[in-house]
Structure 1
Amino acid sequence: MNIQINMFSDKYIRCRSMKARIALMLLILLLALQAYVKATPPMDYEGLANSIDVNKLKEYIEKLSSFGSRVTGYSGCNDAANFIVSRLKEINVSYRIIEYEVTVPLDRSSYIEVIEPVSLRLNAYALWPNYVQTCKTPPTGIEGRLVYVGDGDLEDLDDKDIYGSIALIEFNSGKNWINLLRFGARGVIFIEPDETSYPEAIAKISSAPVYFPRLYVDRETGALLKQLAENHSVIRIHVNMDYEIVKSSIIVAEIEGERKDEIVAVIAHYDTWSVVPAIAPGADEATSPSLLLLLAEYFSKNRPLRTLWLVFVSGHWQALAGAREFMEKAIFGSEDIISGERKLLVVVGLDLSSDNNRLLLTYRGYFYDYGSVQVLSKYQKYVIPNVFDKYLKDASAQLGVDLGSIVENGLVVEGWWDDISGPFMLDIEPVTMAHGMGLALRTCGSLRHRWGTPKSDIKYVNLENIRIQALASSAIIYGFVNDPEFSVDWSMVKPSRIFYSPAGELAGFITAYGKVLEFNYTKNWYDRVPYALAVVTRSPSSTYPFMHIIVKCNETGGFVVHGLGVGSAIGGTVLWGAGGVQILQKEGIGYYTEAYLLDEDTGLIVKAPDLGQYGSKSILFWSLVDSHPYQLTTVVFSCASATIIDLYDISRISEPVLLDSRFLNTPWVNMVPTIMIYDVSTLSEFIRYGFVYIPSEGIATIFTPPDSRFALILKVGPEKRISVVLVNSSQLHPDGYGYKVQRGAEIILSAINASNDIATIISTRYSNLKKNMIENIALEENIKAME
C-alpha cells in the first residue's frame, strides 16, 4: 500500500512539473507575442489616407509647374530639384544627390528679326528636333517673305507664293507644316493656340532628320506677325538650338526602417517634356513627384518597418536616362546592395495623370519591351496575392472605398498595355531589365491630353482623380513597406549584369563603350570622329522619339551608355532597318548604333551613317549585346543631304507602312518598302551613302558624297514593284541627270518631282515606241491627261 502511494506521488510530482513547464512556455510565448505586436502595429491605412492632403498636393503641383521649363537641362528642371531638396530638409528626411550627364537639345534664345517695313526683334522658341536635327540656323539667320497660311491646308495655300517664304501657321494644324516644306518654304512659325493636345504636339516633329527651322510664338506676337504678313514684310528667323551635354540630378531620400537592410523604393520623374522645350510647365506630369513628397512627409512622422527610398529622377524623356543612371550608380555602384547585405526587394514607379482615376499595375513598358512567362513568375508569387488579395482589400475595408476596383492587373504576358493609348516608357523598366522586381502604377484609360504641350497648366489638373489614385497607390506602397509577412527570395530579385536561369529567364543591365569612326582612304583605315551624336536604339524605325538613346561623343569619338538590355531579352524586332532596308531577323534583335555630325554654323548634317562598303557592309551596326561591358562601333562619312517627302505606295496612295498607334513600332500594314540609291555617274550603288527612311511618314533623308548626283527608286510589296522614281528627267535626257547635293545646302524633293520624272520617262519612251509603229490608245490618252 505504501509502495502504491509512493508511486502515485511520483506520478503526481511529474505531472505537476510538466504543467509548470508548459505554463512557463506559454508565458514566454505570450510575452514574445506582446513584444511582436508592440513592434509591428496594425496596418493603419486610415492614418495614411488622412495624410493625402489634396490642398498640399495642389500646392506641390503648382510649385513644380511654376519654374518655367522642367525639360531636363533647362533651368526649371534644376529649380524643381532644388525645391524637392529644400522640402526634404524641412521635414528632416535624409537624402543624397546623384549627378549624371545626359545629352539634351538646348534652346538658347531663338528669335525673329523683322527687317521690313520696320525693324523689330521678337521672342520665339525652337521646337523639338527632328530626330538628331535641331534645325539650327546660320549666324545670319534665314530670310524670307512672311506669309500667313492659316491652318496650312492645301486650300489655304491657293494663290499664296510659298516658295522661299517664311510661313506663319496656326499651331493646331496637324502635320500641315509638311505642305509648306513641300512647296519650298524656308521655315515655319507656329502661333500659340488657346488650347491644344498631345497629338497636335507630336505632329510637329518628324522621326527623319529633316532640316526645316520651326519656331513657336505667343498669341500677342502671332497677332503682330499676322499684321506684318498683310504688309508683305521680310523677316529673318534665328533658331539657336544644339544638342549639349548637361548635368542633372537624381535625388534619393531615405527613411530608415526597423528592418533597415530591407529596402522598398518608390520612383517618379520630376522632369517633363514639351514640343516647345523652352515652354514646359508640365503641371499634370508633376502629380507623381508631388505624391512622392506627401509620402516623404507621412513616413518621416510614421517610421516604416522597412527602409524606404523615395527616388526623384530626371531624364525620363531622354530614353529613361535618369532611371538608368539610378540603377548604374545607386544599385550596381553599391557594394551593400550587390552583395546582398542590404536587399532592394521591390521598386514601385508612379506615373500618374489626372484625366482618369483608374490605375494599371504593370511591370513592362516600351523602352525595353521586356517580359515573359518566366519573368512574370516572381510577380505571380510575391505581388499579385499581396496587392490584390491583401493590401487593397484591407485598405478598402478600413476606408470604406473599393480601391480594388480602380486598379487593373497588368501583370500578364499579353495585354499588359491594357487600355493605355500610345506607347509609353516607365521609370521602373531598368529595374526589371536588371532582374529586379519593378512595378509601375500608371493611369490607364487616359489620353494624357495635355502632356507634351506648352499649355499643360494647373487648370487642367483634376485633383479628385489624383486623390483617388493617390489613395490606391499609397495603400500598395504602404503594404510593401509595413507588411511584416512580405518577403522575397533574394535570388529572384537580385540585380544582375547578366542573368540566365534554367527556366529560360534572361535579364541584364549592360554598359556599352562606343566609338564613331570614318574610313580614311589615305591611311586605308578608320579615324575617330570627335563630338558626333551617337544614337543607340532597339527600334530605329520607331516614330516614338523618346526611345532613342542620343549621346554626344567626346573629343576622341567615344561615348558610354549605361543600361542596355541583354541579348534577345529585349522585345521588338523591326521589319525595316535604317533607311527602310529590310533586315534579317537575326539583325533585328538587339541594338542599332549610328551617328551624325552637325555643322556648328549651318546646322546641317555633314557626317552621316555610312551604309556602304566601308560602313555597315563591313562593320555591322546591329549588335546582340550579350556581355558586360560591350563594345559598340559605328561608321560615318562626309556627306551632303536631301530630304524627300511623299515616298508613298502609289497603288494605294498611302504610306507603305501603317503603324499600330498603340506601339508605333509594329505595323498593321507593311508593304516592305525598299529604297535604292544610285550614283548617276556610274549607274551603280555609291561606295559611301546613307539614308533614314520613315515609311509610316513617307519621309526620307538621303546622304551622299558632296557634289554627287543621285537617283532614287522606291520599291514596295513582296514583288518589289516600282512605286517612286526620282532621276531629274527632261525631254532631252529622259533617263535623268540625277539630283545634285552640295555641302552647305539641303534640297527638298516631293511628289511634284517624282510625278514630273515618271511622266517624262513614260512620254519619251512611248514616243520612241510610237516611232516604231507600236501604239496604245489608252496609254496615249493617259499621257495627254498627264500633260
Structure 2
Amino acid sequence: GKTWKTYIPGKIAFDSEVATLAGKTGIAFATIDDARMMTDTPFDAINRMNINKNGNLHKQVKTMASILIQALRDPLMPTSAKVGNFYCNLYGDVVEYDARESALPSKAVPEPIITLRRKHKTMAGARGDLIIRGDNKGQFEVVGLAMEGRATNRMGGAQEIEPYVLDRNSGDIVYAPDLGNYGAKVYNNKVPIDRRQRGCRVVVFPCVSTTIYDLVDQRSLRTLRELQIYDAGTDSFPEKYGLSKPIQQQGVSATEPIALVYSEPDKRIKIGMSYGQIGKRLLLIKAGRSGTKNPTLYTGEGFVVGENGSIRVTPYVVIRDMWWLDENRNRLYKKFGISSDRLDQLHQFANERLDQARDTLLKRDYSQALKLARAAWGFESRAYPDVKKTGNDVVSGVMF
C-alpha cells in the first residue's frame, strides 16, 4: 500500500505536530495531490482561491466538519499518541565582549532578534525558520523545539543560534554573531537540543555587513559553500567576524548563491570561497599591480568596509582580483625563464573578456557584462591552479 506521503507532494507543516511532539494526540487534515505551485510567488493571491458556494474550499470544509464530529464522538478513537515527549525549551542571553568590563563576554545586548534556521526554509508556504525577539536584557526563550536524535536530526547534530540587532531607522544589521576568538570560540553558538531544558549564551559584535552575489563556480556550476574571511594585515582570521550563508536544504539540490559577511567598521578584510577539495574558486582581495619585491607573497590589499553595502557585480570584481594575482606571479616566473603556453593562453582569454566586461559595464549593459565576467572567471579559475602548481614545481625542483 501507499503511505500518506505519496499523496502530498513536497514538504508540508501541520499544527498537529506540536501536540504529537509533546506526546499528545494530534489530528491533521490535508488536501491531497496539491502541490501549491503558486506559493511563494507573486501569483499567490486571495482572488485565486475558490470561495464560491460549490467551490473547492466549501466542499472541503463541509467534509472536514463531518469527519471531525464523527471522530470526536467515536469511542474507539485513540486518545493518546504512542510517542514519547520530545518537547524541548531553549533559553539564553545575548552578550558582547567588552574588555573593560570582563575577561569574558558578558555585556548584555538589549532587544536582539534571534534566528533559528532549520532544514526547510519553506514547507508549502509555512516558514521553517524561527524568529524570536529578546528582552531589554538580551534574554530569550524558545519553546517547543524537537529533541535531537529523537524527533529530528539537525545538520551537525546541533542548532545554530544567530542573534542580530537592527538599526531602528534604516533596518541595517548593526550587531551580528561573532565567530572570532572572543565569540563562538568561547561560547559556541551551535547548541545540541538533547534535553528538555537547554541554556546557552551567544556573543555578538558591532558590525557592518557586505553582501556578495552570484557565488557559482563557473567551471563546475556548483554553488560555493565554504567561505573564509581574513584580516588583510595578517592574512589570518580577524578577531571579530561573522558570516551568513544559505544552508543546504534537505531534499533540495539548489542552494541560493548569496552570502553576507560581517566585519568591524573600517576594518580591512579579504574574502575567499571554495567548494570541497577543488580549492579556492572565489577571491575578493582588491588586487592590483604588485609593488612588492616578491610577488608570490602578494595577496592583495584587502578592502575597507565602512558601512553596510554590497558588491553588486561580484563576478567582475572576483575575476579582476584573480587576474591581477596571477599576472603578478606569472611575470615573476617569466623573469627566470619559467613559462607555460597553456597558462598564458587561458590568462589571455580571461583578460580579453575582462576588458570587454569593463566596457559593457560603462555602457550599462549589465546582462552582457555579467556574461563576459563569468566567462572570464571560468578561464581564470582554470589558470589559477596552474599558477600555483608552477610555483610549487619550482620549489620542488630547487629542493629536490
The aligned residue for residue 677 of structure 1 is: 229
**Does the residue aligned with 1:694 lie in a helix, a strand or coil?**
coil
**Does the residue aligned with 1:631 lie in a helix, a strand or coil?**
strand
Residue of 540, 545, 559 corresponding to 2:140 = 559
- Cα offset, 1:687, TM superposition: 1.5
The aligned residue for residue 731 of structure 1 is: 289
Output the CA distance in 2 between the equivalents of 1:459 and 1:549. Answer: 28
Instruction: Work out whether 1:456 is the aligned partner of 2:59.
Output: no
- Cα offset, 1:472, TM superposition: 4.3
The aligned residue for residue 65 of structure 2 is: 474
CA contact (8 A) 2:96 2:203 kept: yes
- Cα offset, 1:433, TM superposition: 0.7
The aligned residue for residue 388 of structure 2 is: none
Instruction: Give the 5 Å matches for 1:745-760.
Output: 745-748=308-311, 750-760=314-324
Output the CA distance in 2 between the equivalents of 1:646 and 1:486. Answer: 54
Output the CA distance in 2 between the equivalents of 1:567 and 1:457. Answer: 38
- Cα offset, 1:573, TM superposition: 3.1
Deviations 1:618-655 (A, max 9, x none): 21222222444332321101111111112223321232
Instruction: Give the 5 Å matches for 1:371-382.
Output: none
Whichever residue aligns with residue 150 of structure 2, its letter is A
- Cα offset, 1:558, TM superposition: 0.9
Residue of 511, 518, 528 corresponding to 2:108 = 528
Gaps of 5+ in 2: 248-254, 292-297, 352-400
Output the CA distance in 2 between the equivalents of 1:616 and 1:508. Answer: 27
Q: 1:570 to 1:538 in 2, by over 3 A?
A: farther
**Does the residue aligned with 1:569 lie in a helix, a strand or coil?**
coil
Q: 1:772 to 1:423 in 2, by over 3 A?
A: same
Output the CA distance in 2 between the equivalents of 1:655 and 1:536. Answer: 23
Output the CA distance in 2 between the equivalents of 1:419 and 1:650. Answer: 38
Deviations 1:592-612 (A, max 9, x none): 212011112332111101111
Instruction: Give the 5 Å matches for 1:230-249.
Output: none
Output the CA distance in 2 between the equivalents of 1:510 and 1:784. Answer: 59
Whichever residue aligns with residue 636 of structure 1, its letter is V
**Does the residue aligned with 1:442 lie in a helix, a strand or coil?**
coil
Output the CA distance in 1 between the equivalents of 2:302 and 2:231. Answer: 8
**Does the residue aligned with 1:596 lie in a helix, a strand or coil?**
strand
CA contact (8 A) 1:533 1:551 kept: yes
CA contact (8 A) 1:650 1:724 kept: no
The aligned residue for residue 266 of structure 2 is: 707
Q: 1:409 to 1:724 in 2, by over 3 A?
A: same
**Does the residue aligned with 2:85 lie in a helix, a strand or coil?**
strand
Instruction: Work out whether 1:716 is the aligned partner of 2:294.
Output: no
The aligned residue for residue 483 of structure 1 is: 74
Residue of 79, 86, 111 corresponding to 1:508 = 86
CA contact (8 A) 2:176 2:262 kept: yes
The aligned residue for residue 229 of structure 1 is: none
Q: 1:638 to 1:681 in 2, by over 3 A?
A: same
- Cα offset, 1:419, TM superposition: 4.6
**Does the residue aligned with 1:474 lie in a helix, a strand or coil?**
helix
The aligned residue for residue 12 of structure 2 is: 424
Output the CA distance in 1 between the equivalents of 2:206 and 2:111. Answer: 14
**TM-score (ref. length: structure 1):** 0.39
Q: 1:773 to 1:552 in 2, by over 3 A?
A: same
Instruction: Give the 5 Å matches for 1:521-670.
Output: 521-523=99-101, 524-525=103-104, 526-539=106-119, 542=121, 546-574=127-155, 588-656=156-224
For the aligned residue pairs, the C-alpha RMSD in angstroms reads 2.6
Residue of 22, 26, 46 corresponding to 1:434 = 22
- Cα offset, 1:561, TM superposition: 1.7
CA contact (8 A) 2:266 2:305 kept: yes
Tell which structure's C-alpha radius of gyration is larger.
Answer: 1
The aligned residue for residue 97 of structure 2 is: 519
Q: 1:686 to 1:556 in 2, by over 3 A?
A: same
Q: 1:709 to 1:555 in 2, by over 3 A?
A: same
Deviations 1:297-349 (A, max 9, x none): xxxxxxxxxxxxxxxxxxxxxxxxxxxxxxxxxxxxxxxxxxxxxxxxxxxxx
Q: 1:704 to 1:763 in 2, by over 3 A?
A: same
CA contact (8 A) 1:593 1:632 kept: no
**Does the residue aligned with 1:564 lie in a helix, a strand or coil?**
strand
CA contact (8 A) 2:86 2:196 kept: no
Q: 1:445 to 1:732 in 2, by over 3 A?
A: same
Instruction: Give the 5 Å matches for 1:16-35.
Output: none
Aligned length: 330
Output the CA distance in 2 between the equivalents of 1:708 and 1:715. Answer: 23
Kindly, what percent of the aligned residue pairs are identical? 25
Whichever residue aligns with residue 478 of structure 1, its letter is I
CA contact (8 A) 2:290 2:328 kept: no
Output the CA distance in 1 between the equivalents of 2:15 and 2:230. Answer: 44
Q: 1:419 to 1:752 in 2, by over 3 A?
A: farther
Whichever residue aligns with residue 610 of structure 1, its letter is D
**Does the residue aligned with 2:319 lie in a helix, a strand or coil?**
helix
Instruction: Give the 5 Å matches for 1:338-377.
Output: none
- Cα offset, 1:751, TM superposition: 1.0
**Does the residue aligned with 2:28 lie in a helix, a strand or coil?**
strand
Q: 1:553 to 1:698 in 2, by over 3 A?
A: same
- Cα offset, 1:684, TM superposition: 0.6
Output the CA distance in 2 between the equivalents of 1:551 and 1:487. Answer: 35
Output the CA distance in 1 between the equivalents of 2:128 and 2:301. Answer: 39
Instruction: Work out whether 1:697 is the aligned partner of 2:256.
Output: yes
Whichever residue aligns with residue 265 of structure 2, its letter is P
Q: 1:478 to 1:614 in 2, by over 3 A?
A: same
The aligned residue for residue 335 of structure 2 is: 771
CA contact (8 A) 1:593 1:633 kept: no
Deviations 1:174-226 (A, max 9, x none): xxxxxxxxxxxxxxxxxxxxxxxxxxxxxxxxxxxxxxxxxxxxxxxxxxxxx
Gaps of 5+ in 1: 1-383, 385-407, 411-415, 494-504, 575-587, 657-672
- Cα offset, 1:570, TM superposition: 3.3
The worse-fitting range, judged by mean Cα deviation, of 522-531 and 450-459 is: 450-459
Output the CA distance in 1 between the equivalents of 2:20 and 2:346. Answer: 60
Q: 1:477 to 1:619 in 2, by over 3 A?
A: same
Deviations 1:550-570 (A, max 9, x none): 112111111122211223223
Q: 1:441 to 1:731 in 2, by over 3 A?
A: same
CA contact (8 A) 2:88 2:144 kept: yes
CA contact (8 A) 1:568 1:590 kept: no
- Cα offset, 1:506, TM superposition: 4.4
Q: 1:627 to 1:778 in 2, by over 3 A?
A: closer
**Does the residue aligned with 1:443 lie in a helix, a strand or coil?**
coil
Output the CA distance in 2 between the equivalents of 1:460 and 1:652. Answer: 42
CA contact (8 A) 1:506 1:566 kept: no
**Does the residue aligned with 1:641 lie in a helix, a strand or coil?**
strand
Whichever residue aligns with residue 707 of structure 1, its letter is D
CA contact (8 A) 2:111 2:136 kept: yes
CA contact (8 A) 1:507 1:565 kept: no
- Cα offset, 1:468, TM superposition: 4.5
Whichever residue aligns with residue 98 of structure 2, its letter is N
Instruction: Give the 5 Å matches for 1:79-90.
Output: none
Instruction: Work out whether 1:782 is the aligned partner of 2:346.
Output: yes
**Does the residue aligned with 1:633 lie in a helix, a strand or coil?**
strand
Whichever residue aligns with residue 629 of structure 1, its letter is Q
